Amino acid sequence: MATTATAVLAGTGLAWSVERDFDSGFTHSTALGTDAPRSVGGAVNILLIGLDTRKDLDGNDLPREVLEQLHAGDGTEGGYNANSLILLRIPADKSKVVAFSIPRDDYVTVTGIPGYQQIKIKEAYGLKKAAVQAKLIEQGEKDPVVLERRGREAGRASIVTAVRDLVGVPIDRFAEISLAGFYDLATAVGGVDVCLEHAVDDSEFSGAIFPAGRQHLDGSQALAFVRQRHGLLNGDLDRTHRQQAFLTSVAKSLRDSGTLTNLSRLAELMNVAHRDMVLSDGWNLFDFARDLGSAGSVPVEFHTLPVVRYDVIDGQDVNIVDPAAIKREVRAAFGQEVPTITTTAPTPTSVVDIHNVGALPGQAATLSVALTNRGYGAGLIGDGDSSDGPYSALTYGLGAADDARALAEMLGGLPFSASPSVADGRIEVVLGADFTLPLELSPTTPTTTAPPTTAAGSVPVPDAGKPVSTTIGDTIPCVN
C-alpha cells in the first residue's frame, strides 16, 4: 500500500488534473477519530491494514474469475480478519522509515466489542463490524450497502484502537487494502521478484507451490506467497517476513520497471488503488508521495513485534505477548521517550493483592515479590475464584489512584478502575491467561514451577531474528 504511493514521486510530470483525479478517487474513512492523539514534530505514524475478505466495499462477492485467481475459496470464507498489520514511522527528516509487523494472532485486551475482552488482534475488525451491523438491523436498517459500509467503518476504528493500545504510540494515518488488492497491485506492477530459502508445496491451502531460490511471481502467485503459513518452520512469523519481502519487492519493481514515467501504467495503479484501498480522512496521497519522493532513496528497517510464547486459549492458538515490552521497543525504535521502571527508593504507598485466575503458576507470588521490592505493600496472593473473571485487570480503593495508574502502566497497560469493594489504600490485581510478566519484573533465577500444558502445549517462540535494514531498490531478501 505504501509503495503504491511511490508511483507518483516527484519528477513524474503528472498534470494537475491527474493529481486531482488521483486523490478524489479514494474512499476515505473517519475511523481515526477527531480526538485521538497525534504525533508531534512532523513525524508520521501510518498503519497499513491488509483485510482478508472476499467482498468488495459494498459487501458484494468478488467475481468468480477473481476468486479463482486468489485461490482463497468462495465469498463465504475469510470473514473480515486484519491478517496483515504493519505500523510505519516516517520521521520529520525522512532519514529512515521504521516498520513494525504485528503478528495477527497476538492475544490482546480490547474495549468496545460486546462480549469480548481478550481476542486475537486480527479479530478486532470483524467482531466490531458484526456487532454494529447486528445493532443496526435491530434498529430496522435493511439496506445491505449501508450495513456493510457502517459496519466496516466501525471495524476500522476498532482495529486502529487495538493497535494503538498495544504499541502505545499515536496513529496519524491508515490505509486499508483488501485481499484482492494484493493481487491487483502485484499484477499492475508486472509481478514481483522473491527469494525462497526452501521449496514449498501448499497446494491444499494457499496454493503456494514454488522451488527454492530467486524467481518471478505473477499476481496470483504473489498472493499465494504472502498468504502461506502451513508448512513453514515458524508459521505466521515466517508469513510476516514474506509480507515484508513483498513490500520491498513491489517498491523495487516500481522503481526498476519504468512505471514511474509510464502514464498508462500509472493510470492502472491509480485504478487499483481506487478500487481496493481505503484511506484515513484528510490524507492526500499524491502530496504525501511527492514529499516522500523528494527525500530520495530512504532506508526501510523492518521489525516484528516480539512474542513471548505460543499457547492455546479457548481452543484457539494464540501468541502471548508482553505489552509493556512491546511499548518500550516500539517507542525506542520510533525515537520516542521510553518509560522506565524505577528500581530506586520506594515511593508507592498502596498495598497490592494479587489473584491468579489463569496465568502461569507462580506468577502471583513472583509479581508480589517484584512489587514489594519496588515499594508496594505486600498484600494477599493466591488463586482467585470464578467471579474475578478470566482476564487481567486492576481495581483500586480510595487513595490508591496514582499508584494504580503507575502499576497498570508497569504491567503493560492493564485496564484499571476504581471499585468501592476494594479497601482504602489497596489495589487488587487479577492475572488472567493473557497475562505475561514484564521482563523487568522477572526473577533473576529461573522458577522451579513448570509451565502448564495445553492442547498444543505452551511453547517458547523461535528467535525471530534482529531487525533487517534494507533500502528500496536493493536486493530482495530471502525468506522461508
Determine the average pLDDT of the residues in 106-112.
87
Determine the average pLDDT of the residues in 125-130.
96
Task: State the helix-helix crossing angle for 323-333 and 144-167, rounded to 10 degrees.
Answer: 80
Task: State the helix-helix crossing angle for 144-167 and 123-138, rounded to 10 degrees.
Answer: 140
How large a percentage of the chain has pLDDT more than 70? 79
Confidence of residue 259 (pLDDT cuts 50, 70, 90): low
CB 269 within 8 A of CB 258: no
Determine the average pLDDT of the residues in 444-452.
35
C-alpha span between 98 and 96 (Å, rounded): 6
Please determine, for residue 469, whether its predicted confidence score (pLDDT) is greater than 60: no
**pLDDT the model gives residue 474:** 57
Higher pLDDT, 265 or 389: 265
**pLDDT the model gives residue 448:** 31
CB 53 within 8 A of CB 78: yes
Q: Residue ranges per domain, the chain? A: 2-336+465-479, 351-437
At 168-207, the pLDDT tens digits run 889 999 999 987 888 888 888 888 899 999 999 988 788 8
Confidence of residue 426 (pLDDT cuts 50, 70, 90): very high
Q: Which region among 22-36, 337-351, 438-452 has the lowest average model confidence (pLDDT)?
A: 438-452
**pLDDT the model gives residue 346:** 47
Please determine, for residue 420, whether its predicted confidence score (pLDDT) is greater than 60: yes
DSSP 464: -
**pLDDT the model gives residue 384:** 67
**pLDDT the model gives residue 109:** 82
Confidence of residue 234 (pLDDT cuts 50, 70, 90): confident
What are the angstrom distances between the C-alpha of 439 and each of 72, 318, 445?
40, 20, 12
Nearest 10 degrees: Cα torsion 456, 459, 464, 465: -150
Confidence of residue 467 (pLDDT cuts 50, 70, 90): low
Q: Which region among 281-295, 332-346, 455-469 has the lowest average model confidence (pLDDT)?
A: 455-469
Confidence of residue 465 (pLDDT cuts 50, 70, 90): very low
**pLDDT the model gives residue 385:** 59
Determine the average pLDDT of the residues in 104-124.
90
Higher pLDDT, 264 or 150: 150
Mean pLDDT across the chain = 80
At 353-379, the pLDDT tens digits run 999 987 778 889 999 999 998 889 999
Domain range 351-437, CATH architecture: 2-Layer Sandwich (3.30)
**pLDDT the model gives residue 132:** 97
How large a percentage of the chain has pLDDT more than 90? 33
Please determine, for residue 232, whether its predicted confidence score (pLDDT) is greater than 90: no
Please determine, for residue 425, whether its predicted confidence score (pLDDT) is greater than 80: yes
**pLDDT the model gives residue 128:** 96
- Who contacts 480 (Cβ-Cβ below 8 Å, separation ≥6)? 196, 197, 198, 232, 233, 234, 238, 241, 242
Confidence of residue 293 (pLDDT cuts 50, 70, 90): low
C-alpha span between 4 and 312 (Å, rounded): 38
What CATH number has the domain spanning 2-336+465-479? 3.40.630.190
**pLDDT the model gives residue 224:** 87
